[in-house]
Chain A
Amino acid sequence: MDTLLQQLINGLTLGAVYALVALGYTMVYGIIGLINFAHGEVVMIGTMVAFTVIVSLAGSGMPPLLILGIGLLVAVLACMILGWALERVAYRPLRHAPRLTPLITAIGMSIVLQNVAMIIWGRNYITFPPMINKEIFEVGGASFTNVQVAIVCLAALVMLGLTYLVQRTRIGMAMRATAQNPHVALLMGVDINRVIAMAFIIGSALGALAGCMVGSYYEIAHYQMGFMLGLKAFTAAVLGGIGNMAGAMAGGLLLGIIEALGAGYIGDLTGDFLGSHYQDIFAFVVLIIVLMFRPSGLFGERTGDRA
């Protein structure tokens, strides 16, 4: 019983991170139909930038929370610029190319970013300096830290804000209109290029935030970390129905929970033949099952929209 609760808590934390990253995939896909495979690397760069800022401020005598806040802010800004630049330099020139072309470019950009990160931050694991004094809370036999609470609350807040932005503001209306019918959105006076750039910028900001969360949760970073994280978040986006924002949020949480439960019970299930370090396989089992049985995802866009 205590394992179940414990794994649910861990899954929720992980799921919040996946959801934020999945939103970046789904927003871009929803608007231009591109799977931005470099998004995982944007998240990684976010983690690395935050790491650098935090380490260089660590001896300055500033309060740790302030340092953490500055690190987060710089990472978010850096990734917004990176996301904007990616779209501008790599994808915009290919807007009218066959669909495979930008996809391959995305994979290329992902490799480029990984290598740039390797040159700047090296090949080794980097320990993320713990800025928050960890407090541990116990509930019903399960324990969680204040870092986990912060991650889940911050993610929830950001997702609420994003939902408000997309549903209620002018730019959000323009984004939805562009996703549903770009030609007609253009007729209404929507500057499509601006909307597409916004999708990249917002998605990258969310990615940077998620990167900082991962960094402070695992207290470790690596130039290849974006690959697995990106792939899992992509799985979450597909699980929820790629292109659907509510789906990305739900898919992220669900995947986090599936993965944590899987990791918690895989030993029991296989008679300790497989240990919890096999937790990564669950994401891919989920991906394969979804693609086989429900490729449009749980909240998939129904086809057959008239218009």
Chain B
Amino acid sequence: MLEVSGLRVSYGGIQAVRGITFHVNEGEMVALIGANGAGKSSTLRALSRLLDPAGGSVRYRGKELLALPPHGLVAEGIALVPEGRGVFPRMTSLENLYMGAYARNDKAAIARDLEHVLGLFPRLKERAQQVAGTLSGGEQQMLAIGRALMSKPRLLLLDEPSMGLAPIMVQKIFEVIRAVASEGMTILLVEQNAKLALEVSQRGYVMESGEITVTDESNKLLADPKVRAAYLGE
């Protein structure tokens, strides 16, 4: 579904992503793990066109993504849950969710999807009229995921959904991610919490200083002594 080849990202002189190649198959959950500053977020930002990559190609369902205008991606079915959530702080939760459906105009289906999202995150239903800036970190993460789902994506890009959250909240969020995946969603999951990411995903890529160094099925990566030593704290 997604084929990335030779993707490069640089900030001024700094090369953050140095020509990486990877792919995500339809219906699959793929983890991209790596230490701080490895270039994971930069990769997602390039895929979602928040920044223009310095080179490479991104093919999605046979189309070259880099040729599209940035605001056109969501209509192609690509949604990013950005690092740090990026909720609209002075809009209510409900308005944030409706913003997720901004590019759609199938009213009836939007209403159905809203019910579905509020079913996945009952907490958001309680907080529907609360301004998003005053939600807790976990609630904001739920909102950011819910908002992405409201665009009815085929490919969901998640950037560190566990960041800064208490273990119980992480568990809740990952339950939903699993549930969404089991409905057939294709997911590219970026995580620093490598153990968690490899447990829920089918395949994984390990990124180090802007390059992909190891790739395998997730359970094999989990068993790999080198990966265990570097990323699972053993």
A interface residue numbers (CB < 8 A to B): 170, 173-174, 176-177, 180-181, 183-192, 305-307
Contact = CB atoms under 8 A, between A and B. Distances in A.
B100 interface: yes
B72 A183 contact: no
B72 A177 contact: no
Contact of B99 (A177, A183, A192): A177
A187 B89 contact: no
B99 A173 contact: yes
Nearest to A192: B71
Contacts, number: 80
Interface centre among B49, B50, B71, B91 (most CB of A within 10 A): B71
B103 interface: yes
A170 to B, nearest CB: 8
Contact of A180 (B84, B88, B102): B88
A151 B82 CA distance: 47
B87 interface: yes
B90 A187 contact: no
B151 interface: yes
Contact of A188 (B50, B69, B74, B89): B74
Contacts of A181: 86-89
Closest 3 CB pairs of A and B: A189-B103, A305-B89, A189-B74
B140 interface: yes
Nearest to B80: A187
Nearest to B133: A305
9 contacts: A173-B102, A180-B89, A185-B99, A186-B50, A189-B151, A192-B71, A306-B133, A307-B87, A307-B132
A191 B71 CA distance: 6
Nearest to A184: B86
B82 A188 contact: no
Given A177-B88, A185-B99, A188-B102, 17 more contacts: A173-B98, A173-B99, A176-B88, A177-B99, A177-B102, A180-B88, A181-B87, A183-B50, A183-B82, A186-B49, A188-B147, A190-B71, A191-B69, A305-B133, A306-B89, A306-B134, A307-B133
Contacts of B91: 176-177, 180
Nearest to B48: A187
A179 to B, nearest CB: 9
Contacts of B82: 183-184, 187
A298 to B, nearest CB: 17
A307 B84 contact: yes
A165 to B, nearest CB: 15
Contacts of B87: 181, 184, 307
Most buried by A among B72, B75, B102: B102
